[in-house]
Structure 1
């Protein structure tokens, strides 16, 4: 890799690391302590674990690997590589924030608002860098690439709502309501940031 190529890759990678630091912070310090379901891979894995003999850890790994496979097939090598970086960074940052001794969780309303702020900004950093979080956002990116009239924010909301509705069968309707509030808040913030600072482009990176 030439020096020019390295510099061109460094900026997006740093933004991806920042994004995952924010996302992990939001989940570890606000979502998990308040038991707020998010409509993402973890929630889907917990539902599938209740319906099958396979446990949550295995389902999480299966879904994550599958999402990375779809990223490689439909979003290209650049997105796949950066999504790999994103997934490793998230696991590392989530473990770090989970182990830190300070607690910020206050009540569901404050936790949803603060989590939405950090996670929405974190998702923006990843998607603006042509990366997914190696989660269900991969499918939102694929649809937005193939059908530009369906933007990432809309598709991410649809996917999250479907998962949340399934999760309600396990966690109950109160958890569903908090999850819906979180979904619309964080995806709305992400959408506004993409609109203001870097309008979503059709996989602007070529492989």
Structure 2
């Protein structure tokens, strides 16, 4: 394998790993302990864990695998392969951060702010590397692929808000308010980073 090939394939994978390290940290150490819902896979898993005997980690893994199937069908081979790396990295890092006894969550406003920084930067790392996180962002990427005029950041916000509204039944209106604040903060940071910095060219997806 040539040096150029290693750089072409290795650099995005390293950025994907970094992204999932950041995303998992933000969710495991700030969002989940503070019961802040965000509209993503982890928050959906938090709701299902409240309603079933299965844990948040178990639900996160099952939903992630389901989203990965959609990535394979609609987003093409390159995105799928990188999304496999992304999904397994997230599941592993989320389990690791959940297991480590680091109690960092204290005040909801601070937890939302810090989580937004870590998760927004993490999503940027993955999407800029032409990978989904094998989370609900898969559906935002599919929608943007079907209609290029759609904005991925906007679609992520719509999906998150829909899940947030459904989650209110379990976590209440206070969680909804914090969740909406988080959604706009992290997606805003992600969108700004994507507009300013594109380290790798976009790849074509299958139809």
* Counterparts of residues 66-145 of structure 1 (less than 5 Å): 66-145=66-145
What is the CA–CA distance in structure 2 between the aligned matches of 1:139 and 1:195, rounded to whole Å? 20
Q: What is the TM-score when the length of structure 2 is the normalising length?
A: 0.89
What is the CA–CA distance in structure 2 between the aligned matches of 1:99 and 1:44, rounded to whole Å? 20
Question: Contact between 1:34 and 1:108, CA under 8 Å: does it hold in 2?
Answer: yes
Cα deviations by residue, 1:17-53 (Å, 9 ceiling, x for unpaired): 01011111111221112111121123324445667x7
Question: Contact between 2:38 and 2:182, CA under 8 Å: does it hold in 1?
Answer: yes
Question: Contact between 2:40 and 2:160, CA under 8 Å: does it hold in 1?
Answer: yes
Cα deviations by residue, 1:137-188 (Å, 9 ceiling, x for unpaired): 0000111111122111000000000000000011111111111110110001
Cα deviations by residue, 1:88-110 (Å, 9 ceiling, x for unpaired): 11122222222333322120000
Structure-2 residue corresponding to 1:151: 151
Q: Give the Å deviation of 1:199.
A: 9.2
Task: Go from structure 1 to structure 2 and tell me whether the alpha carbon gap of 1:151 and 1:82 turns closer, same or farther (over 3 Å shift).
Answer: same
Cα deviations by residue, 1:113-145 (Å, 9 ceiling, x for unpaired): 010000000000000001011110000011111
Q: Is 2:191 aligned against 1:191?
A: yes
Structure-2 residue corresponding to 1:173: 173
Task: Go from structure 1 to structure 2 and tell me whether the alpha carbon gap of 1:76 and 1:115 turns closer, same or farther (over 3 Å shift).
Answer: same
How well do the aligned residues superpose, as a CA RMSD in angstroms?
A: 2.4
What is the CA–CA distance in structure 2 between the aligned matches of 1:152 and 1:130, rounded to whole Å? 13
Q: Give the Å deviation of 1:195.
A: 0.5
Question: Contact between 1:130 and 1:205, CA under 8 Å: does it hold in 2?
Answer: no
Q: What is the TM-score when the length of structure 1 is the normalising length?
A: 0.89
